[in-house]
Structure 1
Amino acid sequence: MTENKRPAYEPAARLLERTHYDPDMPRPLATVAGAALVLLRVVAGMFWLGALVLQIPDLVETSQITLEAASDAQAASLGITVVLVVGGVGLLVEALLAFLIYRGVNWARVLVMGFSVVSVSFSFAAWWAEDQEITINTTFVTLAFDILVLLALSSRDAAAYARRNEGRPPESGA
């Protein structure tokens, strides 16, 4: 076994050790892959919003939304507009987070991993409790992106790169 290769099984104590601090550390492939996967999620979200825009006439006709002050078509149109605006802002924020991850900002990496955990958990809960099938047309693509983002951004290299500028904790002198 070479010095640079890690064993297949490591004790928990070694896994919990702090990463090294190297301000001159080159950007690891895991960080690049994580940022690229987040951008791919943004592209997938843009396609989803585009498909929603194309379905607006059908959605307005079949909506069951009723408001006293507006017609059914106006209420459905307003609802779809709100979804598009919120979705667009969410995609912009996610694209910004991808850029920050690429630059090595640790809080952005942790935030995206948190969102991915919540998304995977909701997909699992829907599958478990509501018998929702995971197919290409439903949640398969987003679930795959979330799992891949978690794998890439939770790696030791990605964590070390994101924390490369943190100072060492003070040594306890005895």
Structure 2
Amino acid sequence: MMNAPDKRPAFEPASQLLRRPEADPEMRRPATTVAGVVLVFLRVLSGLIVLGTIVLNWRSTLTQIDVTIEGAQTTPELAQRVLIAVTILLGVALLVDAALAFFILIGHNWARVMIMTFSSISITGSFIQWWAGGLELKITGSLLTLGLDILILLALSSRSAAAYARRNERR
């Protein structure tokens, strides 16, 4: 039986797992990086769908908002300002996400780390909301974004994605 050179053993020592990948400036973009970028763009697309739903159903969304400020009365103008602020904030977050995906595609490690951090925060937030009993996981909403975040983490934390992002780093 031959040992395949690309096959890794089932149990590797921690020193080998923590070792930095070798730098290869001529490295081709791995499939894991491309998959991670596609997943980030799918997350942006799902956010655009949510944003479009808010904008297309502006009046009904406005009536569902309950802005409660201690000592102040909720007015329709306040609810509209809050909805505008949320819409702008969501749009900016989607633009940042798309820009980071582009930077990952061209090989910037800082963008890869930021996307993985955002995904980790999103997963943790979903878990905390579920644990507190306030989040019902549904296939049409929270489960889709949670699955995308988990897949993004898996793709971008792979050895090949890390090696590609770090291929030009000086040692």
TM above 0.5, one fold? yes
1:79 aligned to 2:82?
Answer: yes
Residue type of the alignment partner of 1:75: L
Whether 1:92 aligns to 2:95 is yes
Matches of 1:131 and 1:81, distance apart in 2: 24
Q: TM-score, normalised by structure 1?
A: 0.89
- What is aligned with 1:125? 128
Query: Which of 29, 32, 35 is residue 31 of structure 2 equivalent to?
Result: 29
The yes-or-no answer on 1:112 pairing with 2:139 is: no
Report deviation, 1:73: 2.2
> Matched residues in 2 for 1:20 and 1:144: separation?
31
The yes-or-no answer on 1:101 pairing with 2:119 is no
Contact 1:45–1:91 (Cα < 8 Å) also in 2: yes
SS in 2 for 1:27: coil
Gaps in structure 2 of 5+ consecutive residues: none
Q: Percent identity?
A: 49
**CA 64–125 in structure 1, closer or farther in 2 if over 3 Å, else same:** closer
The answer to whether the 8 A contact 2:36-2:156 is kept is: yes
In structure 2, what is the equivalent of residue 172 of structure 1? none
Structure 1 residue runs of 5 or longer lacking an equivalent are: 169-174
- Matches of 2:87 and 2:53 in 1, distance apart? 11
Aligned residues: 168
Structure 2-normalised TM-score?
0.90
Q: Which runs of 4+ in 1 moved over 3 A?
A: 62-71
